[in-house]
Amino acid sequence: MDHQYRQRPPSARPGTRQQQSRPGTAATTQRRPKTAGRNSERPPSSSSSFGPVPPSRQMSAAPPTAARPQSRIGMVANSIISTAPPRGYSRAGSRIGTSAGVGVGVVTAFGNRPLNRSTTSMGQRPGTMSRQMIVHQLPLGTAAAQQRPITQQGVSGARASAMASRIGSRIGTAMGGGRMIADANYYIGLLHNKLNSLEVELGNLNTELDKAEKGRENLLAYEQRAEEQAQELKQLQGLLADYNLVRNIIKISYKANGIEEFVYEKYISLVIDRQNTHSDTNLRSLEAEADQAALANQKLMAEVEELFRERRVREEQLQELEQRTERLRTENNERMRVLEIEVKEEFEQVNTEVENLRNEMEKKKAELAELTKTKEEMDMALANSPLKRQTMLMEEQLQELRDKRAQIVSELQSEQTPEEQRDNFIQKIQKDNKEIGHMQEQLQEINERMAQAQEELQEFQNEFELLAGDKSEKFRELKTRGTQMDNFLDNFEESKRQIEGRIDALSRQIVRQLQLISLNCRHGEIVTNVTGLDESLLALGSSAVSADELQDLHVRLQEELITLKQNEALLRSELSSMKTKQTEINENIDKMSNIEEKKKEFRSQTRELQAKRDSLKEELNRLEAENERLLGQIKSEENRFGGGGYEMNRLRELKGRVEQMETERRQLDEKLTELRIKLDYGPSKQRALELRSEYNELLINSVFGLKQKSVATTR
């Protein structure tokens, strides 16, 4: 029965005096000893101090009382306890039998009988003293009920009775308002109440969260709409600035097409800049851009006004020139009227010739432009190919020799007197002497330059040796190392065989010594001297070498073998690099071997270029003859007209243009000769051939040297 009651906290208050008093309570409490926890056990419930209680009195019910109004505590209790029994019942959830007046045991909230509640010998639980108090209706407000202590099983006296009286139902034991059992259902009910309140709070929070989500969605929609409106506002501001610019441009009155195109281009550029501006620029940047656009508009207006002024000035000048030309034309017409018919006919002929000459000059200009273009292309081709330059120089030299030959032949064929021949010969000797002197001066100058260049080269070599001394030493070291490696590679197989033979001999010797040591160990006679061995062991062959020395020798040979393997790997890598270099040299030699085919190609190209040059020379000679003819005609016309009139001024202008073209032609000829001199690749060709021959000699010498070294090493 101990586990039926839960322990009440020590802060339980005594019951109030509002409980209804029942008769017989004070007497019963005086006769019944006080209980304090489990220190004193109750007397049997079937007997009292007056004797055994009859069963009829034990199960007698108390008279019914009126139900009291429920308070908040009662509501909580009703929510906790599923079925509240009437005040006539002795215990919450208990049931009182009616047969034979015997009371039935207590039923718990789970509907079962307590496990440790043993039955009495009567078969049923006898009535307790509390039932007798219920029958006698003892008053609960007496001092005995108030002084009843709280038990350790969680049962309180006055507080439980007060709560029961407030609730209006009897909760607890048979005492009625004096006791109340607070079992698991009570706390489960409290937890349910807490859960209900938490669910209500969660519902409120969910509603608030839904409202906040809706507000946030609305806020995002409003922000997006505000951004769209701001973007629209920016675009409209840009359009407004563009329209203002167009309005300012339209206000300006102009007629020139060039100015219209200029303003239109400016407008288009401003519109493109406006469209290319970043969409995230704020209003301040737009205002700054608007100010810049206004300044640009002002500058543009100033430029347009300046252009208008210049146009007006030009128009005025043009009008003046037109008036002047009209005046001159009228004067010429009047002069032509005054002149005779023959002069008029000559003048008309001259005008037609001038027109023809003008047309021919335009044609010649076009031809000259084409010739200059072809000349530039040929110059580029000559600059890119040294063989073409060489062929051109050789052709020039050949032409000079042909001219000299023709001159000599003409001199031989000419029929002159001996005196004339002597004079010509003397003149030729003098000319040759002058040329020889000039050539000697040039040779002396060239020698001086060569000496100066040699001095500079010597100084450079000295400085280079000072700067690159370490590099040269390293180069020599590498060269010596290369020769050593070549020798090693040549003798590698033989040295390898020798070392392998030595290793085999030493390994056999080591095996033999180990066999001797094992034999001595078997005999159990380990000696420090090799001379103390048996004759049978000596017959097998022994040496004066100890086992430690043999072990050291074996380790040393292993180390040497490892170093030899490393050297072999290095030599193999260097040999592969040398093989790659040799392949590169062979490829270069193959390229050099194809020079004959290239020579044939260059010869064919030189023939084509020579044919083109001859055709160009013929065309140039024809143009020069035509130009001289035109100059002669112009001079004759000038002499005829005496250098006056408008047409003569035009003729002078044409003459100046022709002279300018002549000077340009001379300059082009000079440039052509300079380019021919610069593009002489004869010395470079000779130098290349010399280097090739030296390279071949070096290769042959190196091959012979390697063969001689290999023969010497084999010997």
Which of 146-160, 186-200, 540-554 shows the lowest per-residue confidence on average (mean pLDDT)?
Answer: 146-160
Q: List, in sequence order, the alpha helices (H) in 541-678.
A: 547-593, 595-641, 646-678
Spatial separation of the C-alpha atoms in residues 266 and 416, rounded to whole Å: 83
Q: pLDDT by residue (tens digit) across 566-598?
A: 878 887 887 787 778 777 777 766 665 566 676
Q: pLDDT by residue (tens digit) across 206-222?
A: 999 998 888 888 888 88
First-to-final CA distance of the chain: 124
Q: pLDDT by residue (tens digit) across 40-93?
A: 445 445 444 444 444 444 444 444 444 444 444 444 444 444 444 444 444 444
Residues 246 and 260 in one domain: yes
Residues 69 and 167 in one domain: yes
Spatial separation of the C-alpha atoms in residues 562 and 500, rounded to whole Å: 13
Boundary-marking domain end, from 467, 486, 508: 467
β-bridge mates for residue 52, sequence order:
47
The answer to whether 46 and 55 are in contact (CB under 8 A) is: no
Q: Give, to the nearest 10 degrees, the angle between helix 283-338 and helix 257-276.
A: 160
The mean pLDDT of 453-477, rounded to a whole number, is 71
Residues 40 and 157 in one domain: yes
Question: Does 251 fall in a domain?
Answer: yes
Range of the domain at 567: 472-593
Domain count, the chain: 5
β-bridge mates for residue 712, sequence order:
none
Spatial separation of the C-alpha atoms in residues 133 and 147, rounded to whole Å: 16
Half-sphere exposure of 701 (CA within 13 A, CB side): 6
**Residue 662 confidence (pLDDT) above 70:** yes
As a dihedral over the C-alpha atoms of residue 488, residue 494, residue 495, residue 498, rounded to 10 degrees, the angle is 180
Boundary-marking domain end, from 467, 487, 503: 467
β-bridge mates for residue 260, sequence order:
none
Report pLDDT for 488: 77
Spatial separation of the C-alpha atoms in residues 59 and 44, rounded to whole Å: 16
Residue 520's closest CA among 506, 507, 532? 532
Report pLDDT for 16: 45
Question: Does 483 fall in a domain?
Answer: yes
- Long-range CB contacts for residues 691-697, cutoff 8 Å, separation at least 24: 692/592
In our burial notation (b when 16+ CB lie closer than 10 A, e otherwise), range 523-553 reads eeeeeeebeebeeebeeeebeeeeeeebeee
The pair phi, psi for residue 180, each rounded to 5°, is: -150, 135
Q: Which residue has the higher pLDDT, 704 or 405?
A: 405
Residues 234 and 215 in one domain: yes
The mean pLDDT of 150-162, rounded to a whole number, is 47
Q: pLDDT by residue (tens digit) across 685-698?
A: 677 777 777 777 77
Q: pLDDT by residue (tens digit) across 166-186?
A: 444 444 444 444 556 668 888
In our burial notation (b when 16+ CB lie closer than 10 A, e otherwise), range 414-444 reads eeeeeeeeeeeeeeeeeeeeeeeeeeeeeee
Q: pLDDT by residue (tens digit) across 616-652?
A: 778 777 777 877 777 777 777 666 655 455 555 666 6
Question: Does 689 fall in a domain?
Answer: no
The pair phi, psi for residue 181, each rounded to 5°, is: -95, 120
Spatial separation of the C-alpha atoms in residues 289 and 237, rounded to whole Å: 11
Residue 22's closest CA among 139, 121, 145, 106? 139
As a dihedral over the C-alpha atoms of residue 97, residue 102, residue 105, residue 106, rounded to 10 degrees, the angle is 60
**Residue 193 confidence (pLDDT) above 90:** yes
Residues 32 and 172 in one domain: yes
Q: What is the residue-averaged pLDDT of the chain?
A: 67
Which of 30-34, 237-241, 557-561 shows the lowest per-residue confidence on average (mean pLDDT)?
Answer: 30-34
Question: Does 688 fall in a domain?
Answer: no
**Residue 116 confidence (pLDDT) above 50:** no
Which of 244-253, 365-374, 380-389 shows the lowest per-residue confidence on average (mean pLDDT)?
Answer: 244-253
Range with the largest mean pLDDT of 251-255, 471-475, 585-589? 585-589
Report pLDDT for 520: 65
In our burial notation (b when 16+ CB lie closer than 10 A, e otherwise), range 464-482 reads eeeeeeeeeeeeeeeeeee
β-bridge mates for residue 51, sequence order:
48
Residue 658's closest CA among 352, 360, 353, 371? 360
The mean pLDDT of 141-145, rounded to a whole number, is 41
User: H/E element holding 52?
Assistant: strand 51-52
Residues 506 and 626 in one domain: no
CB neighbour class for 207 (10 Å; exposed up to 12, middle 13-18, buried from 19) = exposed
Spatial separation of the C-alpha atoms in residues 132 and 28, rounded to whole Å: 9
| Lookup: tokens for 329 | 């034309």
Residue 168's closest CA among 83, 92, 65, 96? 65
The secondary structure of 282-331 as a DSSP string is -HHHHHHHHHHHHHHHHHHHHHHHHHHHHHHHHHHHHHHHHHHHHHHHHH
The pair phi, psi for residue 48, each rounded to 5°, is: -140, -170
Boundary-marking domain end, from 293, 328, 363: 328
Question: Does 708 fall in a domain?
Answer: no
Residues 615 and 644 in one domain: yes
Report pLDDT for 195: 92
Residues 514 and 577 in one domain: yes
Residues 581 and 624 in one domain: no
Considering just the CA atoms, what is the radius of gyration of the chain in Å?
69
Residues 292 and 353 in one domain: no
The secondary structure of 191-205 as a DSSP string is HHHHHHHHHHHHHHH
Spatial separation of the C-alpha atoms in residues 70 and 75, rounded to whole Å: 7
Spatial separation of the C-alpha atoms in residues 547 and 553, rounded to whole Å: 10
In our burial notation (b when 16+ CB lie closer than 10 A, e otherwise), range 15-37 reads bbeebeebeebbebbeebeeeee
Residue 311's closest CA among 303, 56, 87, 548? 303
Report pLDDT for 200: 93
Spatial separation of the C-alpha atoms in residues 628 and 636, rounded to whole Å: 12
CB neighbour class for 167 (10 Å; exposed up to 12, middle 13-18, buried from 19) = buried
Distances (CA, A) of 288 to 39, 235, 295: 98, 15, 11
Q: Is 574 left (phi over 0), alpha (psi -120 to 50) or beta?
A: alpha
Question: Does 583 fall in a domain?
Answer: yes
Residues 219 and 283 in one domain: yes
- The one-letter amino acid code at 367 reads E
The pair phi, psi for residue 227, each rounded to 5°, is: -65, -45
Report pLDDT for 196: 93
665: CB partners within 8 A, 6+ apart: 368
Spatial separation of the C-alpha atoms in residues 324 and 319, rounded to whole Å: 8
Residues 29 and 176 in one domain: yes
Question: Does 713 fall in a domain?
Answer: no
Question: Does 286 fall in a domain?
Answer: yes
β-bridge mates for residue 46, sequence order:
none
DSSP state letter for 47 = E
